[in-house]
Amino acid sequence: MKKIRILEAGFFSSFSIITALLGADFPPPRGFIWILLAILCLTWLQDQYLCYLQPRIAMKQQFLKNNIYFLLVGIALATSFILLNPQKITFSAILIWYGIITVLSVLYGICFRIINKILFHKIG
């Protein structure tokens, strides 16, 4: 289990930081540190959730719960990005933010469960 947790945290944080850097200006602005802190917090949350998920991963009803959890995290992330944006945002931009972030969050949750189900079967 520990090996899976280390692999998961390393891959998630590395991929997230690289993705954030690709979307940032060069050099990244001073506010980029908040993105890094958010990634570290999400890595920790994901690790805690992985400990919860591991004994339940084979349960069919866990798939729906998993998607609901990732949907809620997506809504929380979208809300925090909107609230922390110092500019005035239009209603359509808010809907786009919520749509994109929550859909990507749920898709990530599905991938997270599938990948970890395979890893637990092979390694764990």
The pLDDT score that the predictor gives to residue 107 is 92
The pLDDT score that the predictor gives to residue 84 is 78
In the chain, what are the domain boundaries?
2-122
Which one has a higher pLDDT value, 33 or 25? 33
CA distances from 61 to 53, 58, 64, 67, 115 (A): 12, 9, 6, 10, 17
The pLDDT score that the predictor gives to residue 86 is 66
pLDDT in tens, 45-89: 888 888 888 888 778 888 888 899 999 989 998 888 888 776 778
pLDDT in tens, 37-47: 988 988 898 88
